[in-house]
Structure 1
Amino acid sequence: MQQLWLKLKDISDLIVFKHSVFALPFIFVAMIVSSKAQSGTLWFGFKLLILGLLAAVSARNFAMAFNRYADRDIDKYNPRTASRPSVDGRIGSLNMQLFIALNAAIFIAVAYLINNLAFYLSVPILIILGGYSLFKRFSPYAHLVLGLSLGLAPIAGVVAIQESIPLWSILLSIGVMYWVAGFDLLYSLQDMEYDTANGLFSIPSRFGKEATFFISRLFHGQTILFWFLFALSANLGFFAYLGVLIAAIVLFFEHRIVLKDFSKIDRAFFYAEWLFGHHLFAFVFLDRI
């Protein structure tokens, strides 16, 4: 029993399972806005709630495990990542392959149970989710690919409810993409020297620290713009716009924290991930009520 628990802990460390909840607010923002427009109620039923949770968790498990598997040759020489289970031998290559395949199969099966469009999009989504790990080997746009991976969450949410992709969901998704990419730029500053020495194509390694700060601020400005357009396009009200304003304030303080003391990047990560997603959901929920 103890051995099983240790193995589960290793898997959790591999995919950082506790962070799976970070994508959920954006899925459910899209689902409640869509449900309210479709049926006049925020509640979309237990079936879609359970299937949505399964889809979100399996997609993220696939993405994280594929990333760890593909990056083994990079991670083992980086002091920040050398203790990951994919590198230090706690989880072997075959077990990672099986875990990746299992979660891909679960995601596709869940998409099939949701509706036809979800099923048709399931494999392309998995390809995008895995693309980040490969992109950073030849393009500095990998940060945007990572952003797109999480940005697909609202698209998935609205497809589950109405089997279509309205304009407001695209605007919401673009905002999420820029938010994640902007933060990933800051986070990747930790590996700037390593990436430069090993020929990896991160923006910090290609353009330097000051340019990275500027591009991150630019991306986060785009986040606020597209979320404002999302609220406008979805005909949301006061509380939704207030949520966007609070998101802008959170981003402002995130950049202040990192600029003053880069060692607090993990603290900024906590603020960005928790306050951003959950507060946006809370204010959109209030608005739709």
Structure 2
Amino acid sequence: MFKTKDTGPVADAVKRHWVDTTLPPVLRPFARLARWERPIGWWLLMWPCLWSLSLASNVTGAALPNIWYAFLLFIGAVAMRGAGCTYNDIVDKDIDGKVERTRSRPIPSGQVSSRQAKIFMLLQALVGLVVLLQFNSFTVILGISSLAIVAAYPFMKRVTDWPQFVLGLAFSWGALMGWAAVFGSLSLAPLLLYCGGIVWTIGYDTIYAHQDKEDDALVGVRSTARLFGEKTRQALVILYGATALLFAGAFFVAGSGPLAFVGLVVGALHLLNQIRVLDIDNGDQCLELFKSNSTFGLILFVGLVSDGLVTYYL
């Protein structure tokens, strides 16, 4: 079951990463399946969780978000992002083999078998389940409910020009989870945060998808990058503008203080700069701009945490 063939790193992976220099060769293909050498994925999955948790803690009057919950959400984000990537690679193995950037991934390159990948996916999902069971029953049910969206996502690029919307539904689910972990229910604030996360995800993943638009056109994969084309910058103005407005609505409904809104303004300027410098025909730049969305997540988180600290101590 654990016999693998290490044929080297994936083409678009980080070079000379600890996965390739430290892990035993037998484990490297599994680490590449989970994208451990590319933490941007779990950062983007985790930020909505931490925003939601911070917003909920501000409402309760706590100085800081619950550290134990934050740790659990971090472990859950890493595990479920890895499981999701593994599942995506299982479903897309034939497509990945036809795309320059992805044909060296572990399954199409023969580093691991589909059976091995499925076992690895289940192990990661089991870690996610253990994490989920630490929360209240409402949050457990809410977390399990997201699996239907996760399962549907890899197929969406075959049937709609908006697979990024479905990705947004999945990747922004944490905007509901953090709040639910604190209150055992949902309200308008986390719902607005969730909607903001969805349009944010559509925006940043559209930038990401511009790396593959030529190959995608050849193999029939659909995306908002292909849909928007030369009008991507205008689409991002709408998407990122909606992101800022929805987040502002969530903060307002939750009664957030001025520092939360300061963080949002700074974050919005960061998104505006992405639009300003974007070159949709420069794949390397698109990747870097995509990764910079983790900075946006950090800015919002710092704003919310700072607001909680100031409100608590002053």
Q: Tell me which amino acid in the other structure corresponds to 2:136.
A: N
SS class of match (1:94): helix
**Structure 2 CA distance, aligned partners of 1:200 and 1:56?**
27
Give identity over the alignment, percent: 25
1:38 aligns with 2:60: yes
TM-score (structure 2 length as normaliser): 0.84
Q: What amino acid does structure 1 have at the position aligned with 2:28?
A: K
Equivalence for 2:84: 63
Change in 2 beyond 3 A, CA 1:248/1:32: closer
Partner of residue 229, structure 2: 209
Q: Which has the higher contact order (CA 8 A, sep 6+)?
A: 2
Q: Give 1:129-140 correspondences, 5 Å limit.
A: 129-140=150-161
Q: 1:197 to 1:220 in 2, by over 3 A?
A: same
Partner of 1:267: 288
The match for 1:147 is 168
5+ residue gaps, structure 1, are: none
Conserved 8 A contact 1:38-1:162: no
- 1:254-284: CA deviations, max 9, x gaps? 12222387341122123222x1111110111
Alpha-carbon shift at residue 40 of structure 1 (Å):
3.3
User: Deviation at 1:161?
Assistant: 1.5
1:183-226 CA deviation, whole Å, 9 max, x = no partner?
A: 11122122222222222222333x35123333233211111111
Deviation at 1:112, TM superposition (A): 2.5
Within the alignment, does 1:174 sit opposite 2:190 as a pair?
no
- The whole-number CA distance in structure 2 between the counterparts of 1:204 and 1:53 is 30
Please state if 1:91 is matched with 2:118. Answer: no
* Residue aligning to 1:232: 252
- 1:253 corresponding residue in structure 2: 273
Structure 1 residues 43 and 181, CA, compared in 2 at 3 Å: closer, same or farther? closer
Which residue of 2 is the match for residue 186 of structure 1? 207
Count of residue correspondences = 285
Give a deviation string over 1:52-79, Cα, whole Å, max 9, x none.
2332222212211111111111110101
Specify the alignment match of 1:8 in structure 2: 27
Q: Write the distance in 2 (CA, Å) between the matches of 1:110 and 1:260.
A: 39
1:16 and 1:40 mapped to 2: Cα distance?
Answer: 35
CA distance in 2, matches of 1:148, 1:260: 24
Structure-1-length-normalised TM-score:
0.90
Which piece of structure 1 moves more, 23-32 or 221-230? 23-32
Instruction: Identify which of 155, 159, 170 aligns with 2:180.
Output: 159
Letter in structure 1 aligned against 2:32? D
Q: Distance in 2 between matches of 1:6 and 1:162?
A: 45
Q: Distance in 1 between matches of 2:71 and 2:269?
A: 33
Change (3 A) 1:271 1:4: closer
> Which position in structure 1 is the counterpart of 2:306?
286
Deviation at 1:119, TM superposition (A): 1.9
User: What is the distance in 2 between the residues matched to 1:191 and 1:92?
Assistant: 25
Unaligned 5+ residue runs, structure 2?
1-20, 310-314
Deviation at 1:43, TM superposition (A): 4.3
Q: What does 1:62-81 correspond to in 2, within 5 Å?
A: 62-81=83-102
Q: Distance in 2 between matches of 1:60 and 1:107?
A: 10
Structure 1 residue 10: Cα displacement = 2.5
Structure with a larger share of its residues in helix: 1
